[in-house]
Amino acid sequence: MPRRDAYMKRPHGVSLDRAQENGWGSGWPHCQTSKIVEVRAGGVKVNVRRELAELVALLLNATVAMHHYRLKAHDTGGYNCRSIRNSDKPSNHSWGLAVDLNWNDNPFQKPFKSNLPVGVIPMWWNCGFYWGGWYSTKPDPMHFEYVFTPADVPRHLRKAKELIMSFRDDGDARVLMWRIEGLLAMRETIDNHATNPNEPNKLGMAVNAIAADARRAADSARAAQAAAEAAKAAVLDPAALETLLERVVRRVLAEQPPAPPA
């Protein structure tokens, strides 16, 4: 578990609690529920502002895939129409501009405690999300909030794609990532498969889909295909799934894009 001083230092000159001035309209108690959408990525579901949905999905996936950080579905959330704790100021959660990741592992408390990999923080910050671990009064390391305007989102989205997708900027790799994400999302169901005999079949279907995508993809996905083969074996042993996912993700990330045809 990293010490607080191992993390990126707080950036200066950032104005917080300015969602309304930044053009996001009203927050708590007049929350704009109709502008909230559900994002499924990185094995979790969060509700956020529609404008941020793609950006949040990329960042959640990258948190899992690039930083090997397992997000817990029951410990992670976004939109919540409420005030800041112990205050009557609206929380960024009430605009759908903030997400909380693994709140039991990254609690809002003093002394600071977090198991987030240190690289996760600059990644979210480079894409516009200020980290609650930087709060000086009481750190809130589960918390990431978007502190820019709606007009800034496209630039942060480009940044996120640069950071995350540069390794393989093509549709095949994305399809694979989505499949992997689907597997991660099923992880909790799989954990309970003993009580539900249908779950192993669902896992088998997902694994077959990964294998099919890998076959369709160009030779860049050979490694992923090999991993998908191993995935079939893991159906028989759900405990091996986590290791397997890590292997698939690592190998997809590590592969260089194929050379263009001569």
- By the criterion CB under 5 A, which residues form the site for Zn ion? 98, 100, 143
Q: Give the DSSP H/E element, type plus range, for residue 219.
A: none
Q: How far is the CB of 244 from Zn ion (least distance, A)?
A: 32
Residues 6+ apart with CB under 8 A from 88: none
Residue whose CB is less far from Zn ion, 85 or 256: 85
Contact criterion met (CB below 8 Å) for 99 and 127: no
Residue whose CB is less far from Zn ion, 36 or 253: 36
The per-residue DSSP string of 75-114 comes to G-B-----BPTTSSSBPGGGGT-EEE--TTTS-S-SS---
Q: How far is the CB of 71 from Zn ion (least distance, A)?
A: 14
Q: Please give the structure tokens belonging to residue 147.
A: 């502190």
The CA R_g of the chain, rounded to the nearest whole Å, is 19
Q: How far is the CB of 170 from Zn ion (least distance, A)?
A: 35
Residue whose CB is less far from Zn ion, 61 or 102: 102
What single-letter DSSP state applies at residue 118? T
Cis check: omega of the bond before 29, within 30 degrees of 0: yes
Residue whose CB is less far from Zn ion, 100 or 181: 100
Which segments of the chain are extended strands (E)?
A: 36-41, 44-49, 98-100, 129-131, 143-146
Residue whose CB is less far from Zn ion, 69 or 231: 69
Q: How far is the CB of 76 from Zn ion (least distance, A)?
A: 10
The residue whose Cβ lies closest to Zn ion is 143
Q: How far is the CB of 133 from Zn ion (least distance, A)?
A: 11
Q: How far is the CB of 130 from Zn ion (least distance, A)?
A: 11
Residue whose CB is less far from Zn ion, 84 or 209: 84
